[in-house]
Amino acid sequence: MSNKNSFLKNKTILVTGGTGSFGSSFVKYLLKNSRAKKIIVFSRDELKQSKMEAELKDDRLRFFLGDVRDLQRLQRAFIGVDIVVHAAALKQIPSIEYNPMEAIKTNIMGTANVIDAVIDNNVKRAILISSDKAVNPINLYGATKLCAEKLFIQANSYAGGRETKFSCVRYGNVVGSRGSVTPLFLEQKEKGILTLTDKRMTRFWITLEQGVKFVIDCINRMKGGEIFIPKIPSMKITDLAQAIAPKAKIKIIGIRPGEKLHEILLSSEGAVHSKELNKYFVIEPEFPFWKKGYLIEGKPVPDGFRYSSNTNKEWLTKEDLKKAIKKL
């Protein structure tokens, strides 16, 4: 049992979207690597919950059916909870572009409901799982995640004199998660043709386990109001395609609506209020609740700095990608 996770001992932790790619990985990691008293999976899908319960068979698990759009259900679920990890979101970009109001109801209004339930139940810490799409968004998904970040950060003011703290974690493409390109390429490999939107495309790369560990570390470190951004490698989409299916033909289909050539985790505007640490960046809030000197460690980033997937200092080679894919 890691000493780094000792702060979770005897804590009750609730994960919204607990049956999703990140949520289920987070729950499994906690069961194996922490002494949490209770872990609550909050999600809409009763079938996934049933399968997860049958697979894990752990007395510390609780399963709550519910939707983040339903404030009353959240109020009931959050009773006695110490830590909330808010991972529930609609994130399939084409679907969201076609059904914009549904994304707003879940990703924005649902986040507002989570905030209200956290404050009203005196939950000590809440952290939002955000995305690189929130930086300079060009699609509705990114816009809703940007709005969710803004809501979560300013929720620290709404909390008033309570102990409740809100922070965000923002990272890039998660390898193997639903909707990511890796499972798509693995599926297309069988047919011998991989579809690429643009050969110039680059993406950040993080595994589910790395994401889970980073979130736990941020929960431990958070003062309330920060956006945490991990330092992670970039990869070229063409290298990923060759690592998965070196003999497959490549078909260029063009960039889809709402898609970028490169992703940005930290914009030059956000960098003005950011600090760089050994393994991550922190964007500090600009509001009165943030006490100067909270982050004694770290150094300000240079003027005009931007953390982008195409100008990243760390890159994965084809061999690195092959090794990573074998672990999936």
Strands 202-204 and 234-236: antiparallel
Q: Are 85 and 40 in contact (CB under 8 A)?
A: no
Which of the residues 11, 28, 133, 165 is marked catalytic?
A: 133
Q: Has 133 been annotated as catalytic?
A: yes
Report CA-CA distances (Å) from 179 to 95, 155, 261.
Answer: 11, 30, 17
- Annotated catalytic residues are 133
